[in-house]
Amino acid sequence: MNTLLLDQSAWDLVLDASGNIALATEPYAVAQDVASAIRLFSGELWYDTAVGVTYFQQILGLFPPPSLIQERMIQAALTVPGVTGAACDLFPIDHRTLAGQVLVRYLDGAANSTINFVGNVNGVTTSVGAV
């Protein structure tokens, strides 16, 4: 499965050497899709408002138990086709910033990826770590 390649810092489209919109291929494409799923706020996807992480309802500004946050990140990762499992590690909260990593296992069993996330008053950002 291919997906549009996104710039890691701006989370925007990237052009290839020919000036066309670049595509990401597996396994990076799946990892990038997981990062996008973790970044998606519940209700934000206009054609399917049932998907997304319940950041406003259950996480940001509410100081929920770590197990709830971990479960929401894992649920988001598992919505991506090709992902068979996920685990989430959280880092200690620092200056009202929540950060962590999601380790993703793929259907073929040959690859794993690490997705890093940070949530604070500016929103939620993600980046693809090791693929």
pLDDT at 110: 67
Task: Please give the model's pTM, rounded to 2 decimal places.
Answer: 0.90
**pLDDT tens, 58-93?**
988 888 999 999 999 999 999 999 999 999 999 988
My answer on whether omega of the bond before 65 falls inside 30° of 0, hence cis, is no
CB-CB neighbours of 98 under 10 Å: 21
On whether the CB atoms of residues 31 and 128 are closer than 8 A, the answer is: yes
- Domains of the chain (ranges, CATH numbers): 3-128 (3.10.450.40)
Sequence-separated (6 or more) residues with CB below 8 Å from residue 100:
69, 70, 73, 88, 89, 90, 91, 116, 117
